[in-house]
């Protein structure tokens, strides 16, 4: 299923959607909002790029970031749960990762991306590793994965 089919399905099923993006910088939100009629389901797209934004807007506990880092399943889960409280959307998705080309470490390499998803009261966090080391490719692969995850749960 491509984004256009997902768009039509979200409208037909009256499923609302919101995003909180870090390493993709709004790319996922842009994919939806470039389609006419997306206002029928797309509630909000937040770019919480800095740790400060994650704490102030999404209410991620500073202790989570200090202990696990902003690129961690714990932070990703806190991001999506914070988003779901703000947005009240049926589906909420959060993204945090290292798009590169810099910033990677041995334990958190470039291409490591966590995607959090809530539907009603259920939350899943997906760990992904995109091996292409260029920033554009990692961001685009992340968005493709998000679209697939949304398709799989609706």
| Whether the Cβ atoms of residue 83 and residue 95 lie closer than 8 Å to each other | no
Q: Give the model confidence (pLDDT) of 75-118 as tens digits.
A: 999 999 999 999 999 999 999 999 999 888 999 999 999 999 99
Domain boundaries, the chain: 18-153
**Average pLDDT value over all residues in the chain:** 95
What pLDDT score does 50 carry? 97
Please provide the DSSP assignment of 26-47 as one string: THHHHHHHTSTTGGGTEEEEEE
Give the neighbor-by-neighbor strand order of the sheet with 91-97: 42-47, 17-21, 91-97, 112-119, 122-129
| Whether the Cβ atoms of residue 45 and residue 21 lie closer than 8 Å to each other | yes
Its pTM stands at 0.96
Q: Find the largest Cα–Cα distance for the chain.
A: 45
Pick the CATH number of 18-153 from 3.90.950.20, 3.30.1950.10, 3.40.50.720, 3.90.25.10: 3.90.950.20
What pLDDT score does 1 carry? 58
Q: Which regions in the chain score pLDDT beneath 50?
A: none
What pLDDT score does 133 carry? 73
């Amino acid at each position: 299923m491509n984004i256009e089919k997902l768009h039509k399905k979200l409208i037909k099923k009256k499923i609302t959607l919101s995003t909180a993006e870090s390493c993709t910088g709004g790319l996922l939100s842009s994919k939806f909002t470039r389609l006419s009629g997306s206002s029928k389901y797309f509630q909000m797209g937040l770019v919480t790029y800095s740790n400060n934004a994650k704490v102030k807007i999404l209410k991620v506990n500073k202790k989570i970031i200090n202990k696990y880092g902003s690129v961690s399943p714990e932070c990703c889960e806190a991001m999506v749960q914070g988003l779901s409280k703000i947005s009240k959307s049926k589906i909420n998705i959060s993204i945090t990762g290292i798009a590169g080309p810099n910033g990677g470490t041995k334990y958190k390499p470039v291409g490591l991306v966590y995607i959090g998803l809530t539907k009603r009261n259920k939350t899943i966090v997906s760990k992904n590793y995109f091996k292409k080391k260029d920033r554009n490719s990692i961001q685009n692969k992340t968005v493709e994965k998000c679209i697939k995850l949304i398709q799989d749960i609706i």
